Amino acid sequence: MPALFTHEFATDPYPAYAWLREHAPVYKTVLPSGVEAWLVTRYADAREALADPRLSKNPVHHSEAAHGKGKVGIPGERSANLMTHLLNIDPPDHTRLRRLVSKAFTPRRVAAFEPRVRELADRLIDGFAARGHADLIHEFAFPLPIYAICDMLGVPAEDQDDFRDWAGMMIRHGGGPRGGVGRAVKRMRAYLAELIHRKRGESGDDLISGLIRASDHGEQLTENEAAAMAFILLFAGFETTVNLIGNGTYALLSHPDQRRLFQDALAADDTGLLRTAVEELLRYDGPVELATWRFATEPMTIGGQRVEPGDPVLVVLAAADRDPARFDDPDTLDLTRSDNQHLGYGHGIHYCLGAPLARLEGHIALATLFGRLPDLRLAVEPSELRRRGGLIMRGLRELPVEFEP
């Protein structure tokens, strides 16, 4: 049985996941945090588990919650009173909150945002285009989503660098319980509460104003719910998109034939291929390695394996999306892949709320980057690239590149 959670595993977990899929598709392991959890690695089991109402998102169902271990969830969210967000709750609360936020976070709002994302991508590339080299994580993949979501929420431009710093603290620690993460979350929370309070009296056009105004059968979000919602939009929409841009760029740079296909499609303005390309990059090496926590609320079986109430269940999206029972040649990057119902955005009632924005940002970021810097190449050996720690996400710490200025 291959070792899990080692350095080699972090670099390339796919062989270990292939082994698990074949020999132990629902496997109990001890996570680096010391918490025991089931890993679900087959596509069919994963898809079923993601939509199973017997698996709760609420950490009170965790068998260890009673002992106050507090090792699951986003560091700092408990003390900052941000627990009531979509990824921690079940119906009927989830249904109500998701309906309310969907009224504000509409596809129309996302589509209208396209020129702004283009402008952001161009401005960031302007920052290093004359230099001939850059670290694409720090200078491009990292700032793009944070500025984009701040803009969308209505965080004033002069405060966005604070968000950049708080987000930097959260990402640098890989979501681990160390150091400044809790403090960064608390500052963000205090800022958002203040901003929401201020915007309540105004009739703004931004997403926070939309959240404040959204109502359903006379029901509205409380200020606390609106703050938790703004926080989860930032949290869920940030590191994920950093990784989509980072992992996607790296996958293109390390597959010359697919990269050529991508650049030909750009030159020909073949938006169909650009769209299937972003989906395939998500399937092949997606931003979210494991879906967020779920807990069994009753005795049940998953893929024939008995799971006890209170047991944590982690659905391994990265393993499911390489399952040969679902995808032809799953380990091949094929930007033209059409039958591509990957689980990169999850499945069921917690399916990614931000998928339209993520697709837009991924598409524009990659198209702008490879369009403006057509000879982009890695500046280091692939073996020198380091990955960020953290259980849920999969992403690069840096991505040094070179190009003709």
Is residue 388 at the binding interface for ligand HEM, with CB under 6 A as the rule?
A: no
When CB distances to ligand HEM are compared, the closest residue is 354
- Is residue 312 within 8 Å of 72, Cβ to Cβ? yes
354, 388, 395, 401: residue in contact with ligand HEM (rule CB under 6 A)? 354
Question: Does residue number 350 form part of the binding site for ligand HEM (CB under 6 A)?
Answer: yes
Which residue type sits at 371? G
The answer to the question of residue 72 lying near ligand HEM (CB under 6 A) is no
67-75, 216-224, 351-359, 371-379 -> range binding ligand HEM (CB under 6 A):
351-359
Q: Is 44 exposed, middle or buried (0-12, 13-18, 19+ CB in 10 A)?
A: middle
**Shortest reach from residue 316's CB to ligand HEM, in Å:** 11
Residues 6+ apart with CB under 8 A from 59: 65, 72, 73, 83, 88, 293, 295
CB of 401 to ligand HEM, least distance (A): 20
Pick between residue 98 and residue 187 the one whose CB is nearest to ligand HEM. Answer: 98
Q: 178 to 197, contacts with ligand HEM by CB under 6 A?
A: none
Q: In angstroms, rounded to a whole number, what is the distance separating the alpha carbons of residues 76 and 156?
A: 24
User: Which alpha helices (DSSP H) does 70-126 contain, by range?
Assistant: 93-104, 107-111, 114-126
Nearer to ligand HEM, 335 or 403 (CB): 335
Residue 294: which H helix or E strand, with range? strand 294-296
CB of 99 vs ligand HEM, minimal distance in Å: 10
Q: Residues in contact with ligand HEM, total (CB under 6 A)?
A: 27
Nearer to ligand HEM, 258 or 292 (CB): 292
86/252 with CB nearer ligand HEM = 86
The CB-of-375 to ligand HEM minimum distance in angstroms stands at 26
CB distance 349 to 94 below 8 Å: yes
Name residues contacting ligand HEM, limited to 226-285 (CB under 6 A): 232-233, 236-237, 240-241, 244
> Helices 355-372 and 143-153: crossing angle, nearest 10°?
130
Residue 51 or 380 with smaller CB distance to ligand HEM: 51
Shortest distance (Å) from residue 68 CB to ligand HEM: 23
Residue 175 vs 286, nearer CB to ligand HEM = 286
| By CB under 6 A, residue 286 contacts ligand HEM | yes
Using CB under 6 A as the binding rule, whether residue 83 contacts ligand HEM is answered as no
DSSP track, 135-180 = EHIIIIITHHHHHHHHHHHT--GGGHHHHHHHHHHHHHTTT-S-TT
Q: Pairing mode, if any, of strands 36-40 and 312-315?
A: parallel
Give the C-alpha distances (Å, rounded to integers) separating 149 from 21, 239, 345, 388.
36, 12, 18, 22
* Least separation in angstroms between CB 98 and ligand HEM: 5
Minimum distance from residue 29 beta carbon to ligand HEM (Å): 18
Q: Is 358 one of the binding residues for ligand HEM (CB under 6 A)?
A: yes
For residues 221 and 50, give the distance between their C-alpha atoms in angstroms, rounded to a whole number.
26
163 binds ligand HEM (CB under 6 A): no
Q: How far is the CB of 286 from ligand HEM (least distance, A)?
A: 6
Rounded CA gap, 343 and 279, in Å?
10
Q: Which of 257, 268, 279, 259 is nearest to 362 (CA)?
A: 279
Q: How far is the CB of 265 from ligand HEM (least distance, A)?
A: 20
**What are the DSSP calls for 38-50, one per residue?**
EEE-SHHHHHHHH
Residues that bind ligand HEM in the complex, under the rule CB under 6 A: 50, 86-87, 98, 149, 232-233, 236-237, 240-241, 244, 286-288, 291-292, 344-346, 350, 352-354, 357-358, 362
